Amino acid sequence: MKYEIFSSDSNVITFSSFGTLKTQLNHIKHPLFYSNCCYCNTTQSSFITETKATSCDIRKTLARMEDSIDHLAFERNKAQFDVDEMKIVWAGSRQDFELSDRISRLVASDPAFRKDDRTTLGRKELFKNTLRKAAYAWKRINELRLNEQEAYKLRSFVDQPAFTDLHWGMFVPAIQGQGTDEQQQKWLPLAYRMQIIGCYAQTELGHGSNVQGLETTATFDPKTDEFVIHNPTLTSSKWWPGGLGKISTHAVVYARLIIGGEDHGVHGFIVQLRSLDDHLPLSGITIGDIGMKFGNAAYNTMDNGVLRFDHVRIPRNQMLMRVSQVTREGKYVHSNVPRQLVYGTMVNVRQKIVADASVALSRAVCIATRYSAVRRQFGSHNGGLETQVIDYKTQQARLFPLLASAYAFRFVGEWLKWLYMDVTKRLQANDFSTLPEAHACTAGLKSLTTTATADGIEECRKLCGGHGYLCSSGLPELFAVYVPACTYEGDNIVLLLQVARYLMKTVSQLGSGNKPVGTTAYMARVEQLMQYHSDVKKAEDWLKPNVVLEAFEARAARMSVACAQNLSKFTNPEEGFQELAADLVDAAVAHCQLIVVSKFIEKLQQDIPGKGVKKQLEVLCSIYALFLLHKHLGDFLSTGCINPKQGSLASEQLRNLYSQVRPNAIALVDAFNYTDHYLGSILGRYDGNVYPKLYEEAWKDPLNDSVVPDGFKEYIQPMLKQQLRNARL
């Protein structure tokens, strides 16, 4: 950036050896210096040593100094805990921290991964840009001999959705999970080397949530020992698969298996889509991109596609046959591999989604928190500094619960990872006992965390005021790229209904000696929980983990029991379930919130090293729980778990907790350890140098390529000159 000097008057520039800068200008305030005054607390003047300088010196000094000034240093100095130790807690382990730290810096420091120009590109340029980055990332992965985990990290820090996400995230795992050993030996090496590129073709134009309703058919032809893949209707067109539209050479296609006129339900098939020579779709196959999606760049970097088959033939051995097989004679048989495996896969996929939720939410919170410390509005008396918006209680009451949620989702995600390993171990030992509970639990947590994250990102955007609406804030992209998580891998409301079904089953079996397991274990104490009345007498009582936990358990249990009682009034249970669906969803939410709260509390029962680290997490845990209690006060009151006075004590305690977080807020988002590249936000810059950079960024827009815009001569000049009547428009 070039700095204009507004006056040739001699200026006095003063800066400290501690990297903070303070200016005393004679009458004229230099824009950058003035900004600095806005950021730095004036109380730091004791550090300052004076140096005289002329305008000319200033000009030279500025560029050099700007990038080394930390405008948020005075905020960081306030922190009451060891940020480096918190980084380890956030990452999960020292090893995980070091991995993320190393790979994220590697990406951030490579200009080939620059992403600040994305939002101005048209669709074609944007897509080409993605192809380049994906190829370059793959090249680097090979050059640096990165292992699988490192490669995954690298792709995620590149932070631009691409066909490779589906290749590695869906195509490869589908073959690993559903292919026979023979199929894995044939296809996986090709996929691992990217000699073929695959996608996952499940959803159809008319069928998203209802996988069992898919219409694409795979009809066995015993004459030729082939399957005939076909789309009988328009609504059966495959629709949405990422990477399909323009890039994938292969797909795992889900279709109804038809043998001799009999429908055996939906199965997966490996189908080659495009020639490996000229990349043209094979005969009988129509493929295209489904068009623009929400957001400027966001998922428009991805070729979500449409696919139609007109009687396309594939060999019989391209059906994924680990669980069920079709023999040469056209007999449909099951292997001894348990079908429940598919649920294990679901637990794994959803576990990753919960982990991603904490990442997305924490990015937004990091941006909003840093900018809330930089931004000042109102509260200035006698011409002094205005108040940092982070000091307003309304800002805290919206921002800090999201900060707490980010941590809460992080820890519940960590626990889900353990759950997945536990389930896998049991599956291998043919123990399916915990599977339904694990499935319900992950479904519910996927729904809860993705909804809260999508809403939370948008709330963070609003918390940044008008500037949050600029793409350079990073928040519009973050929202647009995140929000499909509420729909994919199970619509969030549909998932909650699945949880509710499981809860109703659990309640109905309570008398039968079938002991509820895992996250529903509290239901075993249902009689006690139905009698529960909170004994909170003063605001601090709400800081006790057991007090909070019992209130959440009682609320969840009572809402489930109430639903079960209301359901029992219907002669047709399914009709009752439909009629009471909205209440059932509420009960499921209560149950899922309890899980998150209880896992946060469990985390805090562990030993957590680092000065003040555990204390901060305790504060965040209380905020998360009491914020939910406040938000769902109607649940807690109407079930009689707490009384209005106790509700108001919870609000009082919440306000106290906000004051405790306040000095630690910046350090708590620093602990996420995001690079400025990954954040992709001027408002969220680590150094807080927002306004000069925002100003600088504006000029990069293509509209600023010329002073007089394209179209002026044809459309605006005739208007101004009153010559529009004869203009051709």
Q: Which among 373, 354, 355 has a CA at the least distance from the CA of 365?
A: 373
* Active-site hit among 66, 489, 602, 652: 489
Q: Which among 391, 403, 365 has a CA at the least distance from the CA of 623?
A: 403
Whether 439 contacts 419, CB under 8 Å: no
Q: Where are the alpha helices (DSSP H) in 518-580?
A: 526-531, 545-568, 573-579
Q: Is there binding between residue 223 and a second copy (CB under 8 A)?
A: no
The residue within the footprint of a second copy, chosen from 86, 355, 471, 595 (CB under 8 A), is: 471
Within 679-708, the residues that bind a second copy by CB under 8 A are 691-692, 694-695, 697-705, 707-708
Within 7-66, the residues that bind a second copy by CB under 8 A are 28-32, 34-35, 38
What would the two tokens of residue 168 be?
A: 């590695």
Stretch that binds a second copy, among 390-398, 505-513, 538-546, 663-671 (CB under 8 A): 390-398
The residue within the footprint of a second copy, chosen from 111, 466, 511, 513 (CB under 8 A), is: 466
501 strand-pairing partners: none
Within 599-658, the residues that bind a second copy by CB under 8 A are 630, 632-640, 644, 647-648, 651, 655
Q: Is there binding between residue 580 and a second copy (CB under 8 A)?
A: yes
Within 240-279, the residues that bind a second copy by CB under 8 A are 240, 245-247, 249, 276, 278-279
What would the two tokens of residue 601 be?
A: 């509390």
Stretch that binds a second copy, among 10-18, 418-426, 458-466, 523-531 (CB under 8 A): 458-466
Nearer to a second copy, 511 or 711 (CB): 711
Nearer to a second copy, 46 or 706 (CB): 706
Q: Is there binding between residue 575 and a second copy (CB under 8 A)?
A: no
Give min distance, CB of 272 to a second copy, in A.
12
The site map against a second copy for 500-529 (x = CB under 8 A) is: ------------------------------
Q: Is there binding between residue 291 and a second copy (CB under 8 A)?
A: yes
Give min distance, CB of 198 to a second copy, in A.
12
Was 203 annotated as part of a binding site? yes
Nearer to a second copy, 81 or 479 (CB): 479
Within 391-410, the residues that bind a second copy by CB under 8 A are 392-394, 397-398
- In Å, the largest CA–CA distance within the chain is 95
Give min distance, CB of 615 to a second copy, in A.
23
CA–CA distance, 601 with 715 (Å, rounded to integer): 64
Tally the C-alpha atoms within 13 A of residue 353's C-alpha that lie toward its C-beta.
30
CA–CA distance, 384 with 361 (Å, rounded to integer): 34
CA–CA distance, 600 with 602 (Å, rounded to integer): 5
CA–CA distance, 552 with 558 (Å, rounded to integer): 10
Q: Is there binding between residue 161 and a second copy (CB under 8 A)?
A: no
Whether 461 contacts 364, CB under 8 Å: yes
Nearer to a second copy, 206 or 518 (CB): 206
Nearer to a second copy, 88 or 134 (CB): 134
Give min distance, CB of 677 to a second copy, in A.
18
Q: Is there binding between residue 148 and a second copy (CB under 8 A)?
A: no
The residue within the footprint of a second copy, chosen from 161, 295, 344, 684 (CB under 8 A), is: 295
Whether 457 contacts 478, CB under 8 Å: yes
The residue within the footprint of a second copy, chosen from 75, 165, 303, 356 (CB under 8 A), is: 303
Give min distance, CB of 322 to a second copy, in A.
27
Burial of residue 417 (number of CB atoms within 10 Å: 0-12, 13-18, 19+) = middle
Q: How far is CA 209 from CA 202, 240, 462, 492, in A?
A: 10, 13, 31, 10
Nearer to a second copy, 101 or 652 (CB): 652
Number of residues that bind a second copy (CB under 8 A): 156
Nearer to a second copy, 398 or 505 (CB): 398
CA–CA distance, 316 with 227 (Å, rounded to integer): 6
Whether 632 contacts 586, CB under 8 Å: no
What would the two tokens of residue 161 be?
A: 């959705």
Q: How far is CA 68 from CA 17, 21, 369, 417, 689, in A?
A: 11, 10, 21, 39, 10
Give min distance, CB of 428 to a second copy, in A.
33
The site map against a second copy for 162-191 (x = CB under 8 A) is: ------------------------------
The residue within the footprint of a second copy, chosen from 170, 257, 271, 290 (CB under 8 A), is: 290
Q: Where are the alpha helices (DSSP H) in 53-147?
A: 55-66, 73-76, 83-91, 94-108, 123-143
The site map against a second copy for 535-574 (x = CB under 8 A) is: ----------------------------------------
Nearer to a second copy, 334 or 631 (CB): 631
What would the two tokens of residue 334 be?
A: 């099951």
CA–CA distance, 220 with 423 (Å, rounded to integer): 35
- The single-letter DSSP state of residue 204 is B
Q: Is there binding between residue 136 and a second copy (CB under 8 A)?
A: yes
Stretch that binds a second copy, among 251-259, 300-308, 348-356, 548-556 (CB under 8 A): 300-308
The residue within the footprint of a second copy, chosen from 8, 109, 142, 509 (CB under 8 A), is: 142
Residues 6+ apart with CB under 8 A from 593: 448, 552, 556, 628, 632
Q: How far is CA 261 from CA 254, 265, 275, in A?
A: 18, 12, 31
E-strand ranges in 584-701 read none
How many CB atoms sit inside 10 A of residue 177's CB?
17
Within 73-92, the residues that bind a second copy by CB under 8 A are none
Stretch that binds a second copy, among 168-176, 319-327, 666-674, 720-728 (CB under 8 A): 720-728
For CA atoms 632, 635, 641, 646, the dihedral sign is positive
How many CB atoms sit inside 10 A of residue 420's CB?
21
Q: Is there binding between residue 489 and a second copy (CB under 8 A)?
A: no
Nearer to a second copy, 389 or 419 (CB): 389
Residues 6+ apart with CB under 8 A from 255: 214, 216, 217, 218, 229, 266, 267, 269
314 strand-pairing partners: 227
Backbone φ/ψ region at 474: left (φ over 0), alpha (ψ -120 to 50), beta = left
Nearer to a second copy, 294 or 418 (CB): 294
The residue within the footprint of a second copy, chosen from 49, 382, 430, 722 (CB under 8 A), is: 722
CA–CA distance, 330 with 140 (Å, rounded to integer): 47
Whether 351 contacts 416, CB under 8 Å: yes
> In 3-state terms, what secondary structure has residue 201?
strand
The residue within the footprint of a second copy, chosen from 78, 469, 565, 573 (CB under 8 A), is: 469
Give min distance, CB of 199 to a second copy, in A.
13
Stretch that binds a second copy, among 62-70, 484-492, 541-549, 592-600 (CB under 8 A): 484-492
Q: Is there binding between residue 338 and a second copy (CB under 8 A)?
A: no
Nearer to a second copy, 429 or 720 (CB): 720
The residue within the footprint of a second copy, chosen from 132, 339, 425, 538 (CB under 8 A), is: 132
Is 489 in the active site?
A: yes
The set of catalytic residues is 489
Residues annotated as binding site for FAD? 203, 242
Residues annotated as binding site? 203, 242
